[in-house]
Amino acid sequence: MKVVSLRIITADIKRLVQFFEKATGLTAKWSTDDFAEIVTSSFTLAIGSTRTLAFFGEGVAQAAANKSVIIEFLVENVDKDYEKIKDLTHDIVQKPTTMPWGNRSLLFRDPDGNLINFFTPVSPEAIKKFA
């Protein structure tokens, strides 16, 4: 088994796609007006409008309701990325902080309230883990 993507459902797909393009520096690939993907080297962040839910059934998902998942991106320099992110959102949950497990972490929310973690391994153990 291989995890290939994580999908966010949103009521404002253009706004959310633009946010992630600016945050990641990657360009989204649009399949339709209701579905786009940000492809990274390790996984794909899919973003679908609430209109795509009609294919799955009534009440299967709710936009802007996530309070239990953190989407994590391994970045080269979290402190440098913080300078970019603080201009994209005022919802910074935690400025870059070195965590006990060896990652330097920046937590913020996207426009729909999803929790995003940009992190850089800094301890020898964390660097080895992600090498």
DSSP letters, 76-91, are S-HHHHHHHHHHH-S-
Averaged pLDDT of the chain: 96
- Please give the pLDDT value at position 23: 97
Residues 76-123 pLDDT 10s: 999 999 999 999 999 999 999 999 999 999 999 999 999 999 999 999
Residues 3-25 pLDDT 10s: 999 999 999 999 999 999 999 99
Measured CA to CA, the distance from residue 89 to residue 127 in angstroms comes to 28
Residues 25-84 pLDDT 10s: 999 999 999 999 999 999 999 999 999 998 898 889 999 999 999 999 999 999 999 999
Q: Is 0.85 surpassed by the pTM of this model?
A: yes
Question: What are the backbone angles phi and psi of residue 35, rounded to the nearest 5°?
Answer: -155, 125
Q: Which domains does the chain have, with CATH numbers?
A: 1-61 (3.30.720.120), 66-131 (3.10.180.10)
For 64: left if phi > 0, alpha if psi spans -120 to 50, otherwise beta; the answer is: left
Beta bridge partners of 121: 103
Helical H segments across 10-96, by residue range: 13-24, 78-88
